[in-house]
Amino acid sequence: MAELGIPRNTIEVLQKYHFIFQKKYGQNFLVDPRVLDRIMDAAEISREDCVLEIGPGIGTMTQYLAERAGEVVAVEIDGNLIPILQDTLSGYENVRLIHQDILKMDVKRLAEERGKPLKVVANLPYYITTPIIMGLFEEDVPLQSITVMVQREVAERMQAGPGTKEYGALSLAVQYYAKPEIVANVPPNCFIPRPNVGSAVVRLRRYGTPPVQVTDERKLFAIIRAAFNQRRKTLANSLGNAAALGIPKEKIVPALEKMGLCAAIRGEALTLEQFAVFSNLLSEQDS
């Protein structure tokens, strides 16, 4: 089977099937063998692994994965790509192709049936990067790692720490579940068609247990969301204004002071650990 990572071969397949790109599905096909090799190295794929690939496109990365993994489960939403994939993946017996929307799939069951944590590897459709990644974490899918191509800006937000402009609710949510690491920056000319933004490959190594202990996970994430909803405000004002949180204003400042933080601090200055302690203090006061 032709190496689809070479632009000429991808174009040939697209022409053979008169394929029309669907913008709504975020279709930008990767055509750079060096980037594909870099992704394989970062994901550390071996024959022991069951890999979930989200959005195989015409099967370029799927072929790379199938050469290295024990099994590849590739989930594609676009029905027009299914006959193409059946062709490009015909020689690979360890690939299972599923025609479905990943957001509607029971990935947890897929992992449980395999009896081992999955590795997720993908060039993600950018319009649903966050729901896909947070869905995998929040539904507690058994995972070893997620190695994915995303918009560079999103990768930077995942990896950011306190006090930077990229730091926000996404950084904290991702870092609660996994250790993020940007492993490659990828320019638009590595794709057909070219996206309007730069891309990056980020590897998220799933923690066995979160790096901080919280008594009420939902409360922690509600506080984080409220803190960054009104980024320019102090943490006390942001939380005090978020009626749905149900935290009385008069409890917020004493909790901050107990932590040795100033009452006028903004959410963007707090580490994940500090958010966890703060959330635990407010939970104690509830009980």
* Distance of closest approach, residue 49 Cβ to ligand SAM, in angstroms: 17
* Residue 181 exposed, middle or buried by CB count within 10 Å (0-12, 13-18, 19+): middle
* Distance of closest approach, residue 98 Cβ to ligand SAM, in angstroms: 9
Which residue's CB is nearer to ligand SAM, number 26 or number 142?
Answer: 26
Q: What residue ranges bind ligand SAM (CB under 6 A)? A: 25-30, 54-57, 60-61, 75-78, 81, 101-103, 123, 125, 128
Coil/strand/helix, residue 159: helix
When CB distances to ligand SAM are compared, the closest residue is: 55
Q: How far apart are CA 99 and CA 114, in angstroms?
A: 19
* Distance of closest approach, residue 78 Cβ to ligand SAM, in angstroms: 4
Which residue's CB is nearer to ligand SAM, number 56 or number 240?
Answer: 56
Contact criterion met (CB below 8 Å) for 108 and 139: yes
* Distance of closest approach, residue 205 Cβ to ligand SAM, in angstroms: 21
Which residue's CB is nearer to ligand SAM, number 77 or number 169?
Answer: 77
Q: How far apart are CA 98 and CA 102, in angstroms?
A: 9
* Distance of closest approach, residue 131 Cβ to ligand SAM, in angstroms: 9
* Residue 173 exposed, middle or buried by CB count within 10 Å (0-12, 13-18, 19+): buried
Q: What is the DSSP string of 89-140?
A: TTT-TTEEEEES-GGGS-HHHHHHHHTS-EEEEEE--GGGHHHHHHHHHHTT
* Distance of closest approach, residue 26 Cβ to ligand SAM, in angstroms: 5
Which residue's CB is nearer to ligand SAM, number 102 or number 277?
Answer: 102
Query: Do strands 143-151 and 178-186 pair parallel, antiparallel, or not at all (unpaired)?
Result: unpaired
Which residue's CB is nearer to ligand SAM, number 17 or number 25?
Answer: 25
* Distance of closest approach, residue 164 Cβ to ligand SAM, in angstroms: 27
User: Sheet harboring 95-99: ordered strands across?
Assistant: 95-99, 71-76, 50-54, 118-123, 143-151, 199-206, 178-186
Beta carbons within 8 Å of 281's beta carbon, 6+ residues apart: 255, 258, 259
Which residue's CB is nearer to ligand SAM, number 125 or number 240?
Answer: 125
Which residue's CB is nearer to ligand SAM, number 193 or number 254?
Answer: 193
The closest of 133, 142, 283 to 202, measured between CA atoms, is 133
| CB count in 10 Å sphere of residue 242 | 17
How many alpha carbons fall within 13 Å on the CB side of residue 170?
Answer: 18
* Distance of closest approach, residue 103 Cβ to ligand SAM, in angstroms: 5
Which residue's CB is nearer to ligand SAM, number 57 or number 168?
Answer: 57
| CB count in 10 Å sphere of residue 154 | 22
Query: Do strands 71-76 and 191-192 pair parallel, antiparallel, or not at all (unpaired)?
Result: unpaired
